[in-house]
Amino acid sequence: MEKFRPIESAAAPLPQANIDTDQIVPARYLSRPRDDNHGNYLFRDVRYNPDGSEVAEFPLNQPAWRHAQVVLAGRNFACGSSRENAVWALFDAGIRACIAPSFGDIFRSNSLKNGMLPIVLPAEVVAAMIEQVTADPTARVRVDLASQTVTGPDGTKHAFEIDPFARRCMLEGLDELAFTLEHEDEIAAFERRQDRHNF
């Protein structure tokens, strides 16, 4: 997993509530392997027309937000099924942080395990930031995991909460396997003690 570094980026507005994981990545792409670029499937059915051309008004197709690393979303973002591919699609498209009033629980957990930061801020704060970036698509949002702050386009800083273990893993670029391997010596010592005990 990549280390999470501070982000200063355009922020794509997706203000609709209850955007579900089937919209984020349609079910027909779920069998694709992880090393496939899932960013190609992100919002496939709403971002593209049946002929494969882009839907011009979709935020991530607009020049200002095409390479955004931050999404500003409505409440209950990524609800629905538990598909981890939804996180992969956002991550592979370059999204490193999603800011919303609330998230689907499983999506939030999957995000933290895959290096993408889900940030919960009050609904009125997210709505204000969406309004700001819509009025000025060149506006930037700064996300700093180390200080647990988001700086909005107007310069206002907002603190957010995150589980300390998840924060450490993201800052150090540790997935669950890498974290476990940090304790390889202790695990080996435990296994030796168990072997002695069993004989």
Where do the domains of the chain lie, and which CATH numbers do they carry? Answer: 7-198 (3.20.19.10)
Report the alpha-carbon distance of residue 135 to residue 99 in Å, rounded: 18
Whether 101 contacts 86, CB under 8 Å: no
Report the alpha-carbon distance of residue 165 to residue 171 in Å, rounded: 10
Give every CB contact of residue 113 below 8 A, 6+ residues apart in sequence.
Answer: 175, 176
Predicted pLDDT of residue 195: 64
Predicted pLDDT of residue 166: 95
Give helix 105-113 / helix 85-92 axis angle, nearest 10°.
50
Report the alpha-carbon distance of residue 162 to residue 73 in Å, rounded: 18
Report the alpha-carbon distance of residue 173 to residue 181 in Å, rounded: 13
- Counting every residue written for the chain, the total comes to 199
* Helix spans in 38-155 (H): 44-47, 85-92, 105-113, 123-135
In a structure prediction context, what are the per-residue pLDDT tens digits for the chain, which is 199 residues long? 889 999 999 999 999 999 999 999 999 999 999 999 999 999 999 999 999 999 999 999 999 999 999 999 999 999 998 889 999 999 999 999 999 999 999 999 999 999 999 999 999 999 999 999 999 999 999 999 999 999 999 999 999 999 999 999 999 999 765 555 454 566 555 555 666 666 5
Report the alpha-carbon distance of residue 114 to residue 44 in Å, rounded: 21
* Helix spans in 21-159 (H): 21-24, 44-47, 85-92, 105-113, 123-135
Whether 143 contacts 98, CB under 8 Å: no
